[in-house]
Structure 1
Amino acid sequence: MVERLLSADFPGAQELRLQIDDAQVVGRWGTGSVSVDLRVSGDAPASPVSSGVAPVEATVVDESGALVGEIILWTQSGLLSGLEYAWYGDEPPRRLPEVKRIVLAG
């Protein structure tokens, strides 16, 4: 999923791509949450992306093409730090969406 998000081209994306192999899920955001914290180990270069939300717009659509959420990639000090599934609706998702359901803007 992170590879799909980082297939978008923006300043600093290349450095974030180099971190993927060294990124690990280190925790969930809460009981039952599908959003996760990431930690990058190793010596991959830091990205010039500011801490916070990476500049990539990724929406999630269902089988009929209806918008059901978005995926947000978080960074801290130039390193991958989180993957958030912000869903639209009353029921939280039980798992992350299939990669084919992610639509990148632009």
Structure 2
Amino acid sequence: MDTPSPERLDENARALLTAACHHLGPQGQILMQQARRARVVASSPTMIDVDVPTTEPLLDLPDGPIAGRLLVVTADELSGEILIWVRSGRLIGLEQAWYTDSAPAGWPQPSQLEWTHQNRPTSGDDAR
């Protein structure tokens, strides 16, 4: 029996990445190229882990979440943010942080996102 191959990022996840890529200059183009080739290795309503082929160009970004913040706004209220994680020049995942009492049941739509260049507060090591 054949083992199914890991799936690619779905259209909504790629759209979430696109929302950030517009603010990353040339690095955004590389990030989108990686996203198109990335394979999902694990996922949940708040986390998507991916593997990017080693043949893809590397990002020139530090390890950890990318700079800036992709905020999630629901019913005109800030409800969370999307963190885009990079390690060794490669996209490794998306994480959905929430500011409400309940975890989100799914990923937001791109229309719910707002970009800010303000970085998130640091409280220790951001080593995912």
TM-score by length of 1: 0.85
**Which structure is larger by alpha-carbon Rg, 1 or 2?**
2
1:18 maps onto 2:18 in alignment: no
Identity rate of aligned residues, in percent? Answer: 29
- 1:84 paired residue number: 95
- The aligned runs of 1:19-98 (5 Å cut-off) are 19-28=34-43, 33-41=45-53, 43-63=55-75, 65-98=76-109
Deviation readout 1:41-95 (Å, 9 max, x if unpaired): 25220011011111131100013x2100000000010000010000111111110
TM-superposed CA distance for 1:19, in Å, is 1.0
1:5 maps onto 2:20 in alignment: yes
Shift >6 Å, 4+ stretches = none
Aligned residues: 102
| Greater relative CO, 1 or 2 (CA 8 Å, sep 6+) | 1
TM-score by length of 2: 0.71
Residues 19, 45 of structure 1: alpha-carbon distance in 2 compared, 3 angstrom cutoff: same
| Structure 1: stretches of 5+ with no match in the other structure | none
Equivalent position SS for 2:35: helix
- 1:104 paired residue number: 115
AA aligned opposite 1:57: R
RMSD of Structure 2 on Structure 1 (CA): 1.7
Give the structure with the higher percent helix: 2
